[in-house]
Amino acid sequence: MSALGRVVRAGVGRRRVQTVVMTLTTMMAVTASVLAAGLLVTSQAPFDHAFAKQKGAHLTVQYDGSRVTAGQVAATAHVSGVTAAAGPFPVLSLRPHVGRNKSGMPLGDHLPPMTIVGRADPGGPVDDLDLTTGRWATGAGQVVLSDENAPFGIGDRMDFPDLPGGPSLTVVGLARSVGASAEAWVSPAELTALTAPGAVPAHQMLYRFAGAGTDAQITADRAAITAAVPPGSMTGAASYLKIRLAASRASATFVPFVITFGVLGLVMSILIIGVVVSGAVGAATRRIGVLKSLGFTPAQVVRAYVAQALIPATVGAVLGVISGNLLSIPVLSQAKSAYGTGGLTVAPWIDVAVPAVVLAAVAVTALVPALRAGRLRTVEAIAVGRTPRSGRGRAVRYLLGRLPLPRPVSLGLATPFARPARSATVAAAVAFGTIGITFGVGLALSLNAIQNGLNRRTPGTVVVSAFAFAPPAPGTDPATPLVKPAVKPAAIAAKISAQPGTRRYFSTGQTRVGVAGLAGRTTVIAYEGDSSWGSYQMVAGSWFHGRGQAVVPSGFLRTTGAHIGDTITLTEGGRSAPVRIVGEALDLREEGMVILTDDSSLTALRAPVLPESVEFAIDLKPGTDPRAYLDSLNAALRPLGITAATNSGRLSGTVVAMDTLAAMLTLMLLAVAGLGVLDTVVLDTRERVHDLGVLKALGMSPRQTVTMVITSVAGVGLLAGALGVPVGVALHDHVLPVMGDAAGTRFPAADIAVYDLPVLIPLVLGGLVIAAVGAFPPAGWAAHTRTATALRTE
Amino acid sequence: MTAIIEIRDVRKRYDEGPPALDGLNLQVRAGEALAVLGPSGSGKSTLLNMIAGLDKPSEGAVTVDGLRVDRLGEAALARYRRERIGMVFQFFNLLDDLTAEDNVLLPAQLAGVPRARARARAAELLDQLGIARHARAFPGRLSGGERQRVAVARALMNRPPLLLADEPTGALDSASAADVRELLVDLNRNGQTILLVTHDTALAASSATRTIELMDGRISRDVQTVTR
């Protein structure tokens, strides 16, 4: 081995703490960067990537099982333009009841109708499902649910008391279909078992086409398939383009904050690498002097020290790629839920590019102090390692020593001034961490406030729908649940009024009318009764009060260009009714193209609400037991054939995914910031170990040592926290409206202004906590370093 | 006179090599100035470290000023070093970023001595040791002899009953060394117990009232030189 090689090997081997710190720093930086870059890349057209990976169906078609055979359906796979097909799979639409479960769902509650497909396995040439949890349903009584908004978890049961024998299904897995081909899957045999006597399951066929980029192409493809089966046998077809549109909107909502976190993570990693590597090489100046005195040329010295930095950095980079990919599993799983797409993975090029960039950064960062040391005269290089540091920070140390502070505290507080560049970098890392926490906390608070606002669309403790599903009658199309004729609202209102415990209620019903100046028809939600207690969360203006007033979501105002105070004209069959917009409500349904008004506003239009759309929202008197009220009301409603249900408040899967992802990313930034502080303090403590030995020899106790080391970063942490919080707040206040814009709405100001004092104070102290937690391990090490050893250290 | 240091059957072994101290017994009385001589590796520094509580014996007992030093935990050792001993090192071990006065103040500040009292004591010591004019100077600006005087002042700040000095003239020119020798003699004359580890026989002869010589971890010679 050459002399240079020996020097490098000895340098790496002997300076173990420094080697470990460099390895740890690079590992942490690469881990964070792989995650951040992975997130940034997956946020670009996530639906398209996932759809391609899952070979999603361009068209999901359902056929009437009583009009076409499975063989005829299978033959459509050969229609011109079809490049791949899967199926036919038997399919039923059934309405399950809540069975025994650990998810807190009320036993026996009715659930909405569910499309259940019989599939022997999750794979195939089209719609290659991702099994996200558990296993595939292969046996009797087993079901796999779509993991998007699945009401149940593994082991929970769904009952079908309306079917002969009252079968029950146990959830054994959760799967994701990017093309949303079904809500549940069972084995084909189980689907047969779930089919009512005399009923015939429908056939589901999934297609991919050569040309499927536009609605027109999909329409042509559909026509070609329709022509290949008996007329009237195709009962429905869903294009992936609609799902893509919805998914793109959902993912667009996520992209701003994912990018924010990603960029923060990358910047922090680079900062920390810079401070640790330059510190580590700078600390070796005296050894460089010794090498030069032995005859090493400056170029050899530089090569030796860059190599010495690169060896642990390479080990760290490899470990970082591994840990980044491991950590990406839960993080990208949340991103996957957030984007509403299938499996996301870190792109292979990221695993190559990130370590390459980080190692290049290490090399460049090491090169600067190594060049400086290489150019030093030998005597100077030897002296730099041994003699006092430059006089930086002495004045501050002197002044702090005069303050009435315990000496370990004043010594600690003065430490950052001795190395201002390093302290500034640590402060920046902590500040970025604080920005991340502030942003993450604000995001979670805002999202929860927005979710609460959205939940106000269905106020009240109990809700009653005016229609009911019934099991399919023999010989009818089982894919279409039979809807019993809607019950007259007046009859329901009478039952509710008569019910003890009813405090107040109102009903809503939907109709579609024209709006002057707008093409097509627009949904109007008409309120009957006093709805002031159950108004939507308002973005601006006020809830409507009586006839002629309306409230609309942001999307409506944006599309029509209308403003609060404007009057719009509703039209129906040549009749018209003007309504004045008095408020802007938070509502994302139908892209905000909804009008909320009192039903009296529609009288002139003679546009009755759809009977089956009528819902009652009921508020209970204080002290009323909701369960007992529900039982009693259901007993009263039984003759009408409808049931009431508790209004448990919906928790959006998107909001849950956003919250979880934000929490994970905030933790990642915290970990990066904390490790950055730790690495820097380890380096600092090692450099000052001799001083520590002197102080301990003079009687500094372990507790005083810990106090001094922690205080050395506490001031920086507090300052960084104080700087990071306003930036985090500003970032939040900028990103939230961008997210809202992507979702097609404005958010109420109250949902954005979430940083009140009880939130801000802990956030400001967050920087201090990050610094203190990061400094604690090296502080403990400093406290327990043997004084005699420390005193011998130069 | 009572023994301020009592070392009984102390053995110290590092790894597999021969013991650094091998069943050492030693008593030092209050007011003595003991010089510990011996070649490199004889156990001088190990003995000093045991007494200063910087290291623990593998066997035996180390009692200083009535305190079993070898049984103390880290926090108690810190208190012991603050209150019972003062240390002077060959290379001074002053903190470069603190002024001479701030260096001297450190032991009192770590012990929580009220500020005014600490400052008065520091001023008194700086004056007594002839370095009052350098109170605001940083160590880098002082000569070796002046730095060692600052170090001595720092060691005496909390009025320790025992002053430990490790090669206090080892890094000084001859004039400064003579200066420090005189200082130690003066201190001892005023009742300060001193334990001095040195290679310098001249220093031992001039400053110590008693000299012991260590060889392979044992006392090979114990001579009472002067009675003050």
Contact B44, B36 (CB under 8 A): yes
Burial (Cβ within 10 Å: 0-12, 13-18, ≥19) of residue A428: buried
Residues of A within 8 A of B54 (CB-CB) are 697, 786-788, 791
CB contact under 8 A, A388 and B110: no
CA atoms within 13 A on the CB side of A473: 4
- For residue A650, give the nearest of A187, A66, A151 by alpha carbon: A151
| pLDDT above 70 as % of chain B | 98
Residue A792 main-chain phi, psi, to 5 deg:
-80, -15
Contact B70, B59 (CB under 8 A): no
With cut-offs at 50, 70 and 90, classify the pLDDT of residue A474. very low
- For residue A41, give the nearest of A331, A272, A447 by alpha carbon: A331
What mean pLDDT comes out for the span A299-311? 81
pLDDT score for A475: 40
**How far is B88 from chain A, CA to nearest CA, in Å?**
10
CB contact under 8 A, A388 and B96: yes
CB contact under 8 A, A788 and B54: yes
The structure tokens 């003995």 sit at B47
Residues of B within 8 A of A788 (CB-CB) are 49, 54-55
Sheet holding B59-64, edge to edge: B21-29, B3-12, B59-64, B67-68
With cut-offs at 50, 70 and 90, classify the pLDDT of residue A682. confident
Residues of A with CB under 8 A from a CB of B: 387-389, 391, 393-394, 397-398, 401, 404, 406-408, 414, 418, 690-691, 693-704, 783-784, 786-788, 791
Beta pairing class for A575-585 and A567-572 = antiparallel
Contact A334, A661 (CB under 8 A): yes
pLDDT score for A471: 44
pLDDT score for A724: 92
Interface test with B, best of A698, A703, A785, A787 (most B CBs within 10 A): A698
pLDDT in tens, A736-773: 888 888 777 888 999 999 999 999 999 999 888 888 99
What mean pLDDT comes out for the span A331-341? 61
d(CA A704, CA A672): 27
Residues of B within 8 A of A695 (CB-CB) are 95, 106, 110
pLDDT score for B134: 93
The structure tokens 């926290």 sit at A721
pLDDT score for A182: 83
**How far is A409 from chain B, CA to nearest CA, in Å?**
11
pLDDT at residue A248 greater than cutoff 70: no
Q: How far is CA A5 from its chain centroid?
A: 48
Contact B59, B24 (CB under 8 A): no
Buried-exposed string B106-142: b where 16+ CB fall within 10 A, e elsewhere: bbbbbbebeeeebeebbeebbebbebeebbebbbeeb
**How far is A419 from chain B, CA to nearest CA, in Å?**
12
pLDDT at residue A467 greater than cutoff 80: no
With cut-offs at 50, 70 and 90, classify the pLDDT of residue A379. low
Residues of B with CB under 8 A from a CB of A: 49, 52, 54-55, 74-75, 78-83, 87, 89, 93-99, 102, 105-107, 109-112, 115, 138-140, 154, 158
| Pick from A418, A704, A784: CB nearest B97 | A418
| Pick from B79, B96, B102: CB nearest A699 | B79
pLDDT score for B154: 94
pLDDT at residue A386 greater than cutoff 70: no
Which sign, positive or negative, has the C-alpha torsion A611, A613, A619, A624? positive
pLDDT score for B103: 93
| Pick from B75, B106, B115: CB nearest A701 | B75
pLDDT score for A7: 65
**How far is B227 from chain A, CA to nearest CA, in Å?**
30
pLDDT at residue A470 greater than cutoff 80: no
Interface test with A, best of B97, B106, B154, B156 (most A CBs within 10 A): B97
pLDDT score for B65: 92
The phi-psi region of residue B167 (left if phi > 0; otherwise alpha if psi is between -120 and 50; otherwise beta) is left
pLDDT at residue A573 greater than cutoff 60: yes
CB contact under 8 A, B97 and A389: yes
| Pick from B82, B93, B138: CB nearest A699 | B82
pLDDT score for A483: 45
CB contact under 8 A, A699 and B96: no
pLDDT score for A653: 63
d(CA B9, CA A782): 32
pLDDT score for A61: 85
What mean pLDDT comes out for the span A133-139? 87
Residue A756 main-chain phi, psi, to 5 deg:
-90, 175
Residues of B within 8 A of A407 (CB-CB) are 106, 109-110
pLDDT score for A12: 62
The structure tokens 């097509």 sit at A520
d(CA B94, CA A387): 12
**Helices A240-282, A653-687: inter-axial angle, 10-degree rounding:** 10
With cut-offs at 50, 70 and 90, classify the pLDDT of residue A476. very low
Cβ-based neighbour number of residue A625 at 10 Å: 11
Rg, chain B, Cα only: 17
Q: How far apart are the first and last CA of chain A?
A: 29
Cβ pairs bridging A and B (under 8 Å):
88
pLDDT score for A2: 66
Q: Which two tokens stand for residue B36?
A: 């510990």
pLDDT at residue A387 greater than cutoff 70: no
pLDDT in tens, A424-462: 888 888 888 899 889 889 988 998 888 888 877 777 788
Residue A472 main-chain phi, psi, to 5 deg:
-60, 140
pLDDT score for B35: 94
pLDDT score for A486: 64
| Pick from B99, B105, B111: CB nearest A699 | B111
Task: Break chain B into its structural domains and give their ranges.
Answer: 1-84+161-228, 93-159
Interface predicted TM-score (ipTM)? 0.89
**How far is B83 from chain A, CA to nearest CA, in Å?**
8
**How far is B211 from chain A, CA to nearest CA, in Å?**
24
pLDDT score for A630: 86
Contact A96, A82 (CB under 8 A): no
A148/A142: higher pLDDT: A142
With cut-offs at 50, 70 and 90, classify the pLDDT of residue A4. low
With cut-offs at 50, 70 and 90, classify the pLDDT of residue A481. very low
**How far is B203 from chain A, CA to nearest CA, in Å?**
23
**How far is A366 from chain B, CA to nearest CA, in Å?**
27
Read out DSSP for A340-373? T-S-----HHHHHHHHHHHHHHHHHHHHHHHHHH
| Pick from B79, B93, B140: CB nearest A388 | B140
Residues of B within 8 A of A699 (CB-CB) are 78-83, 107, 110-111, 158
**Helices A653-687, A702-743: inter-axial angle, 10-degree rounding:** 150
d(CA B17, CA B150): 38
CB contact under 8 A, B106 and A389: no
What mean pLDDT comes out for the span B195-224? 91
pLDDT score for A250: 61
What mean pLDDT comes out for the span A11-20? 69
pLDDT score for A45: 66
CB contact under 8 A, B140 and A700: no
d(CA A438, CA A444): 10
Mean pLDDT of chain A: 81
CB contact under 8 A, A699 and B102: no
Mean pLDDT of chain B: 90
**How far is B225 from chain A, CA to nearest CA, in Å?**
30
pLDDT in tens, B49-79: 999 998 899 999 999 999 999 999 988 999 9
CB contact under 8 A, B54 and A791: yes
pLDDT score for A214: 82
Q: Which two tokens stand for residue A199?
A: 């009923």
pLDDT score for A282: 66
What mean pLDDT comes out for the span A690-703? 90
CB contact under 8 A, B78 and A699: yes
pLDDT score for B102: 93
CB contact under 8 A, B106 and A695: yes
For domain B1-84+161-228, which architecture applies? Answer: 3-Layer(aba) Sandwich (3.40)
Q: Which two tokens stand for residue A373?
A: 């040391």
Minimum mean pLDDT among A369-383, A535-549, A569-583: which range? A369-383
| pLDDT above 90 as % of chain A | 14
Assess whether the previous peptide bond of A113 is cis (omega < 30° from 0).
no
Alpha helix locations (H) across A230-297?
A: 240-282, 285-293
pLDDT score for A455: 78
Residues sharing a CB contact under 8 Å with residue A78, sequence separation 6 or more, in sequence order: none
pLDDT score for A473: 41
CA closest to B139 among chain A residues: A388
Residues of A within 8 A of B52 (CB-CB) are 697
Contact A434, A768 (CB under 8 A): no
pLDDT score for A323: 83
Residues of B within 8 A of A394 (CB-CB) are 97, 138
| Pick from A394, A694, A704: CB nearest B138 | A394
pLDDT in tens, A483-539: 455 678 888 888 889 989 899 999 999 888 888 777 777 889 999 988 888 888 899
| Cα distances (Å, whole numbers) of residue A198 to A192, A513, A672 | 11, 41, 63
Buried-exposed string A116-152: b where 16+ CB fall within 10 A, e elsewhere: bbbbeebebebbbbbbbbbebbeeeebbbbbbbebbb
CA closest to A389 among chain B residues: B96
pLDDT in tens, A154-173: 888 888 887 888 888 899 99
Residues of B within 8 A of A792 (CB-CB) are none
CB contact under 8 A, B106 and A701: no
CB contact under 8 A, B54 and A695: no
Burial (Cβ within 10 Å: 0-12, 13-18, ≥19) of residue A612: middle
Rg, chain A, Cα only: 33
Residues of A within 8 A of B93 (CB-CB) are 690, 693-694, 697, 791
Residues of chain A with CATH 2.40.40.20: 462-646
Q: Read off the DSSP letter of residue A532.
A: G
* Tally of residues, chain A: 794
pLDDT score for A245: 73
Class of CATH domain A462-646 = mainly beta
